[in-house]
Each structure stands twice: as structure tokens, then as C-alpha cells.
Chain A
Amino acid sequence: MRFFKRAAQPQPLGSLESQVMEVVWSHGDSSVRDVAEKLDRPLAYTTVMTTLDRLYKKGLLERRKADRAFVYWPSLTRPEWERRIVADLLPHSGDLLISCLLDEVGQDVDLLNELERKIKLKRRELDGRKS
């Protein structure tokens, strides 16, 4: 019985781990056999089982027992996982004595288009008032 929930640590994934995660992210609940069947290359059942177990221990997968076998599902969505990895790579904003014009990166392009449209409207309104 687990008393403490494992937190997914932002450790880089190996090649096989990435492939396995891709399968689980795309198909949801999967047994070892399901994952092995959906991988691009044929791999031994035990190899897939060990990889899934490793991903479970890293906190990327959850699992439950069903008919003497484990069924795994992702504990984080793919974007959530990527955000954690990136946040870990970035220097913590509190760890630098820096004031940036813009702290955040990776803005939504649609939002930027919308903001530009608003600014243009305001610019036109301002120019209209001057002339």
C-alpha cells in the first residue's frame, strides 16, 4: 500500500522510455502486452514490463492490478510533462537579480495576433484624435 503519492520528477527519458510513453499517452490505459504490440519494433515482454515499471517509479505512470497483470495509465498529460521538463531547465526566476521586460516566453500566437489588432485599433483612434 502506498501512503505517499510519487511526484513525477523531470528527469530526461531514454529512447525506449519515450516510445513507451508515446504509446501510453496515445492509447490511455494499457497493459504490458498492449504496449508491446503497439511499439514500432518487436521487444521482449520483460523488456517492456521493466520499462513500464521504471516509468511508474519515476512517477510518470499510474497502475492498478487487473487479472494478475498491471494496467498502466499516464499520471501527467504530455504537455504537462513537457512543461515540467522545461521549467526544470530554466533558471528559477527568483534565482537571478534580473528584471526582464517580459518574463514569460512561448506566448500563444492567436493571443499575440489579437493583442496586435487591439493595439492597431488604439493607434488608429489616437492618430484620428491628433488629426
Chain B
Amino acid sequence: MTTSYFLRLLFLACAAFFLLRLAAEAFAALIADAAIRRAEKMRPDAGARLVLTLRLLPAFLSLLLVAMFCIPSYLRFEPPTAREEIGVLCLSTAVLGLALLCVALWRSARAWIRTARYTLSDDGGIALAGIVRPRVLISARARRELSEAQLDAALLHEHAHRESLDNLKRLLMLLAPAMLPGSRGLERTWARCAEWAADEQAAGGDPSRALALAEALVRVARMQTEAPSLVATLINSDEDLSVRVDRLLNVGAPVEEHLGGAAIAACAAALAIALAAVNPTALHAVHGLLERLLD
């Protein structure tokens, strides 16, 4: 297929994005289990950060590399007038890259619209919905049945989710749809760690408030169990509730964890990428690779 200069750039960028993404995600999948095990032993907010970083890194890295290397090297070294053929490999991977972007945008837009319309049922608990102007939703029954202290603790929990921008992180995960199965585990672990972190922040080291939050959790779980719906009677996922209550009953003994090494490594990697991006030799090498992909 013969294409113009800018159309070729679009195809190349999409193809490079897809291939880089696939390679980065394969690497992330390889270390996902070890990261999950590590995150579960860390302080919850640090654990959540670790798995979220690993979950989003492939998409972020592939976009960064395309923006900093592929596009500049093409613009710099490709003759602007040339009309060239695009090979099947480039075309097919470009289509896959575009499809990936479309899926990401479609899922995110759908989630945005559904969240805007979301309401809790009478037997639902308490939730924080949305990103720009997040709404705290409290079901009628929760308002009726929770004591003032329990409701306060539950609202502090939702406030902690708001402070840590958890719904925005959910959107970022939708914008970076996974291609390989390993990321499901990362998402689940992130959700669990984010809940633990919000519990800890809501408790604020105060055993009495932690207890009120534990009571609120069990009360809401009971409300959902008593709800006369098919949903309430059939799904059993009680392990996490039990863990959360146990953590709240033993609040005040956080496990210290430092991610100083990881932060230094991330800064060093960012610096190396930035230095490479301004190096003409690196850009020339990338252009050579793109030429091969184009054929």
C-alpha cells in the first residue's frame, strides 16, 4: 500500500506503539506475581502504588517511547516528499494499535457515562462515584441503620479514596486496556491495597474510629446479605472483608516500607530516556528500525 508522508507516520507510530506495548506488557506479566507478593507485604498505600505502576507502565512507556523517539526520528530523517509502500506487518500491527486505542477510549467513555448515571439501591452501602466532582452516595438503609460514629468513619473512608484519586486511577486502567492476562491480578491487588489504605487513613491510628469502621463494614455486608435479591445471595467473596476487619481491629501497627530505591531507579530511567531522546545517533538508529518495520 502506497501512502503519503503523514499517513505513513501515523501507521508507523501506531505499529511501534503496539509492538512496544506488547513487549513491555510481556515483561510486566513476567514479574507481576513477584510484585503482587511484595505489595501484599508492604504498607497498603505503597503496595497499591507498586502494582498500579506495574499495571500502567507498559502503556505509559510505549506512548513515551513513540512520542520521544519514533515520531522525532521519522520527522528528522525521513525525506518529506517520498511516497513509500507500507508492508503487511506494519499495516497489521498499526491496525491492532489503533484498535487498542479505540477500545481504550470506548471503555473509558462508557464507564464515564455509566458512572454519571449510577445510583445505589436501597440496600446498597456507601460509595464515591466520579472523578471531576465526585459524589458520595449513601443508601437510605445505610443512613438509617449506621450509627453516627459508623457513618462518620465510612465517610472518612470515602474521603480517603477521594484524596488518593482512586477513581482517576480506575480510569487510567481503563485507558490502558491489558492485552495479556497477567494484569487482572495486578488490578485486583491494587483494588485490595487501595481499600486497605483507605481503611487505614480513615482510622487515622485511632482504635475507636477503626472499630466504628469495622462495625460499618460488617453492617453494610449484612444489609447486602439480607437484601432479597439474587445478587446478594449468590456471590461469596468473604475473604477480603474478614481481612479488612482484622486489620482494623489491629490498627496502629503499620509495616514500615520504603520505596526509595524504586524512586531513584525510576528517576534514573527517565533521565536516561531523556538523554537518549536528544542524541542524534539514537534517533538515527530508531529511524533505521522504523524503516525495517515499514518494509
Contact = CB atoms under 8 A, between A and B. Distances in A.
Contacts of B231: 86, 89-90, 105-106
B267 interface: no
B95 to A, nearest CB: 25
Interface residues of B, number: 59
Contacts, number: 143
A105 B224 contact: yes
Interface stretch (B34-42, B75-83, B169-177): B169-177
Interface in A70-93: 79, 82-83, 86-87, 89-91, 93
B211 A119 contact: yes
A98 B191 contact: no
Interface stretch (B63-71, B233-241, B275-283, B284-292): B233-241
A86 to B, nearest CB: 5
A40 interface: no
A131 B76 CA distance: 77
Residue with the greatest number of chain B CB neighbours at <10 A, chosen from A87, A97, A106, A119: A97
A106 B233 contact: yes
Contact of A118 (B154, B233, B236, B249): B249
Contacts of B118: 96, 98
Interface string B180-205: 00000001000100110010000000
A84 to B, nearest CB: 10
Interface of A: 79, 82-83, 86-87, 89-91, 93-109, 111-112, 115-116, 118-119, 122-123, 126
Interface of B: 107, 110-112, 114-115, 118, 125-131, 154, 157-158, 161, 166-168, 170-171, 173-174, 187, 191, 194-195, 198, 207-208, 211, 214-218, 220-222, 224-225, 227, 230-238, 240-242, 245-246, 249
* A-B complex: 8 closest residue pairs judged by Cβ atoms: A104-B237, A99-B161, A105-B224, A106-B235, A101-B126, A97-B115, A107-B221, A100-B127
21 contacts: A82-B234, A93-B191, A95-B110, A97-B131, A98-B118, A98-B127, A99-B128, A99-B158, A99-B161, A99-B167, A100-B127, A101-B158, A102-B221, A103-B237, A106-B231, A107-B221, A107-B222, A115-B241, A119-B218, A122-B211, A126-B211
